[in-house]
């Protein structure tokens, strides 16, 4: 039985109105009366005809969904706030997104531009990489489980997720997932892997850019047979996204595009480029050679000098005081022997004479001529 509007869950979450319905439950817009914020509450609706074993399996799967989602902190993974067990069934409290599912967008707008699809795929792939790093397999990537806002694409519904190291709650011989988005190796009985999620992502992006499912009007068995036989995948609107889809939808998971290269190719298409364009190597930045200052005492620049003259005066070594030559002025002074300059001082004086006009020479150098 579905909960009525206004129902108070766990004495905290007030159900306001349903925002989405599925075969196994309803998603409500609710108000968290403790923190005074809006949240989304997923109500699991269990049919009364189910036996106790199936009921316990669905409840365990819902609890696993909340636990798996809470393990991952990523902007493209829905955030789970709480898991509540009430009325003999679990409820999941999540962030409320003002968004439409990718399936609803395709139904309303038709085929989407390749650049927009590439950007959505890039964000969802980032979510899958974060999920796989935690040892979680989503196993149900499809357009209805991708929510799209103005600037975010968010992966939701981890109800079929498999956690590494936990015992499977699925009965043997049963393949869980949505027809048209299950990887071929899973249909053939192989164990799920991160590569299977990437195939489902490729099928999701194909549906978004082509406006129709990968199987088209064929049955799932006929479509799988066509893919296994090597029949090329028809693409008419994919444009620059076609190489990415072709590499993600390969039958053999060992030759399928990995997440790192797929992320790079999707980023290129989203930026308006080609998925297969080579990377432009960056030019190595050469370190700037620093000159070692000479080991002499620097003389502070005088305020009244020009900048160039002050710089030359500061860099030039101090010269000995020079007396006037005989005959200069009214009084004759004793002429002292002028000490010889060092090799560095002579080199510095030569450089200043060659590079600077005479008016910028240091005072001692102008006196020397």
- Is 328 a member of any domain? no
- Is 62 a member of any domain? yes
- Is 122 a member of any domain? yes
Q: In order along the chain (369 residues), what is the average pLDDT of each group of 10 residues? A: 85 92 80 95 73 71 75 89 84 90 94 96 95 88 92 85 53 53 82 90 95 74 64 85 93 91 94 72 52 51 53 56 52 53 74 75 71
Residue 9: partners with Cβ closer than 8 Å, 6 or more residues away: 3, 15, 30, 41, 84, 86, 91
Q: Is 87 a catalytic residue?
A: no
Domain region containing 84: 1-96
Claim to verify: residue 174 and residue 197 sit in the same structural domain: yes
User: Token pair of 314, please?
Assistant: 């500061």
- Among 48, 76, 96, identify where a domain stops: 96
* Structural domains of the chain, count: 3
Claim to verify: residue 264 and residue 163 sit in the same structural domain: yes
CB 9 within 8 A of CB 28: no
CATH code, domain carrying 230: 1.10.510.10
- Is 334 a member of any domain? no
CB 84 within 8 A of CB 9: yes
CB 144 within 8 A of CB 101: yes
Rounded to a whole number of angstroms, the distance between the first and last alpha carbons of the chain is 107
Claim to verify: residue 114 and residue 161 sit in the same structural domain: yes
Claim to verify: residue 129 and residue 70 sit in the same structural domain: no
Claim to verify: residue 41 and residue 156 sit in the same structural domain: no
Q: What was the pLDDT predicted at 92? A: 87
For residue 42, say whether it is annotated as part of any ligand binding site. yes
Claim to verify: residue 81 and residue 144 sit in the same structural domain: no
Which member of 51, 82, 140, 323 is catalytic? 140
Claim to verify: residue 189 and residue 151 sit in the same structural domain: yes
- Is 315 a member of any domain? yes
User: Token pair of 214, please?
Assistant: 């990968």
Please report where in the chains the tokens 């370190």 appear, as a residue: 287
Alpha carbons 263 and 271: distance in angstroms, whole number: 12
Query: Rounded to whole angstroms, what are the CA distances from 195 to 112, 280, 296, 358?
Result: 25, 28, 68, 77
Q: What was the pLDDT predicted at 218? A: 63
Claim to verify: residue 308 and residue 360 sit in the same structural domain: yes
Claim to verify: residue 114 and residue 92 sit in the same structural domain: no
- Among 96, 125, 158, identify where a domain stops: 96
Query: Rounded to whole angstroms, what are the CA distances from 208 to 79, 114, 120, 212?
Result: 24, 9, 10, 7
Claim to verify: residue 314 and residue 248 sit in the same structural domain: no
- Among 68, 96, 124, identify where a domain stops: 96
- Is 331 a member of any domain? no
Q: What was the pLDDT predicted at 49? A: 59
- Is 170 a member of any domain? yes
CATH code, domain carrying 29: 3.30.200.20
Claim to verify: residue 310 and residue 248 sit in the same structural domain: no
Q: Is residue 136 within a helix (H) or strand (E), and if so which, with residue range?
A: strand 136-137
Claim to verify: residue 89 and residue 110 sit in the same structural domain: no
């Amino acid at each position: 039985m579905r909960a009525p509007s206004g129902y108070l869950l766990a004495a905290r979450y007030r159900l306001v109105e349903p925002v989405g319905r599925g075969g196994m439950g309803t998603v409500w817009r609710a108000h968290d009366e403790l923190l005074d914020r809006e949240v989304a509450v997923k109500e699991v609706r269990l049919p009364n005809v189910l036996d106790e074993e199936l009921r316990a399996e669905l409840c365990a799967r819902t609890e696993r969904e909340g636990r798996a989602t809470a393990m991952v902190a990523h902007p493209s993974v829905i955030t789970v706030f709480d898991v509540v067990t009430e009325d003999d069934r679990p409820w999941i409290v999540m962030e409320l997104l003002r968004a439409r599912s990718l399936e609803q967008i395709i139904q309303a707008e038709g085929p989407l531009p390749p650049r927009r699809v590439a950007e959505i795929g890039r964000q969802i792939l980032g979510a899958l990489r974060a999920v796989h790093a935690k040892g979680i397999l989503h196993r149900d990537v499809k357009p209805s489980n991708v929510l799209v806002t103005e600037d975010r694409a968010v992966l939701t519904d981890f109800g079929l997720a498999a956690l590494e190291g936990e015992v499977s709650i699925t009965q043997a011989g049963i393949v869980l997932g949505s027809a048209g988005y299950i990887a071929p190796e899973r249909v053939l009985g192989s164990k799920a892997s991160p590569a299977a999620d990437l195939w489902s992502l490729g099928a999701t992006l194909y549906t978004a850019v082509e406006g129709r499912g990968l199987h088209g009007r064929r049955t799932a068995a006929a479509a799988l047979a066509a893919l296994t036989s090597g029949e090329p995948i028809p693409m008419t609107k994919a444009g620059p996204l076609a190489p990415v889809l072709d590499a993600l939808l390969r039958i053999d998971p060992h030759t399928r595009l990995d997440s790192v290269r797929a992320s790079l190719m999707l980023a290129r298409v989203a930026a308006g480029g080609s998925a297969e364009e080579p990377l432009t190597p960056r030019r190595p930045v050469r370190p700037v050679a620093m000159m070692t200052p000479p080991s002499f005492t620097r003389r502070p620049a005088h305020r009244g000098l020009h900048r160039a003259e002050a710089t030359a005066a500061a860099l030039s070594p101090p010269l000995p005081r020079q007396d006037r030559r005989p005959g200069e002025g009214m009084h004759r002074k004793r002429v002292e022997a002028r000490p010889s300059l060092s090799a560095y001082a002579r080199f510095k004086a030569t450089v200043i004479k060659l590079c600077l006009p005479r008016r910028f020479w240091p005072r001692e150098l102008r006196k020397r001529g």
